[in-house]
Amino acid sequence: MLNAVFLDFGDTLISEQVFISHGRKAAVNFLCDHYHWEHSSDALQERFLRIEAGLWLRWGHRPPAVKEEAIRLAGIEYLIREAGAEPDCEAVEGAFHHLIAGSSTSPCLLDSARETVHELSRHYRLAIVSNGLDAYTRLCLEHHDLMRYFEVYTISEKANVEKPDPAILRLTMDQMRVRPQETVMVGNRSDVDVLCANRAGCHSIWYRHPGSLEHPEAHPDFTISSLVELPARCNQLSAQRQAF
């Protein structure tokens, strides 16, 4: 019988694009005020995006506990220098704070996310298992009044391990005292969420977005294109386990 549903965060419960773009805009607006810049805010946001994309390519294999925060902070420093100013602690830390706050309070929830989480919580124990920064993930869930639904919250920054390493799922299962056959991992990336679940011996549901690529070694139990489908698919998994 299915007992626990583990949910990814970015592009599973929230729109990553809306989430990050609002944070990036808040950070840039803070820097414009701090340095009294007359640069175009839109142009600076676009430059910030390109800087971060380059840093992700260069630092993609660093440990999860330092990787994303380091990239965000370095991106802010690069942006300040490219705009012709010298980074100072107040500017960098202030921009980072606004990045987190802007992301966390953005209107980023995907359609039906709140209703789906509520429905799942009526029948299953829930956990968040996500790669990313603790600060803005936690604040976003709290801002949208979703944190209360999750019994366990596992974030790669704190766990020092990230999907697709199955250790992050085993850590969460140990905390909840559930077995792999009682657990399903739900996420938007075949190469990360589904592959991680396969390696951990868990069930998996791939929330496939348009244009998503299928990993040849990842094998989801179900594929969905809308969160509305998720409770029914979880119920099917539970029924299959009972029959078995």
β-partners of residue 125 are 4
Q: For the segment 83-137, what is each residue's pLDDT rounded down to a tens digit?
A: 999 999 999 999 999 999 999 999 999 999 999 999 999 999 999 999 988 988 9
How many angstroms separate the CA atoms of 129 and 234, rounded? 17
Q: By mean pLDDT, which of 10-24, 56-70, 227-241 is the weakest?
A: 56-70
Q: Residue 175's pLDDT is what?
A: 97
Work out the average pLDDT over 55-71: 75
Write down the residue that tokens 């199955």 correspond to: 166
Chain centre to alpha carbon of residue 218: 19
Domains annotated for the chain, with CATH where assigned, are: 4-15+109-243 (3.40.50.1000), 16-104 (1.10.150)
pTM value is 0.92
How many angstroms separate the CA atoms of 34 and 26, rounded? 12
Given a cut of 50, is residue 244 above it in pLDDT?
no
How many angstroms separate the CA atoms of 43 and 153, rounded? 36
Burial class (CB in 10 A: 0-12, 13-18, 19+), 86: exposed
How many angstroms separate the CA atoms of 199 and 64, rounded? 19
Nearest residue to 192 (alpha-carbon basis) of 12, 17, 72: 12
**pLDDT mean across residues, the chain:** 94
Q: For the segment 182-222, what is each residue's pLDDT rounded down to a tens digit?
A: 999 999 999 999 999 999 999 999 999 998 989 999 999 99
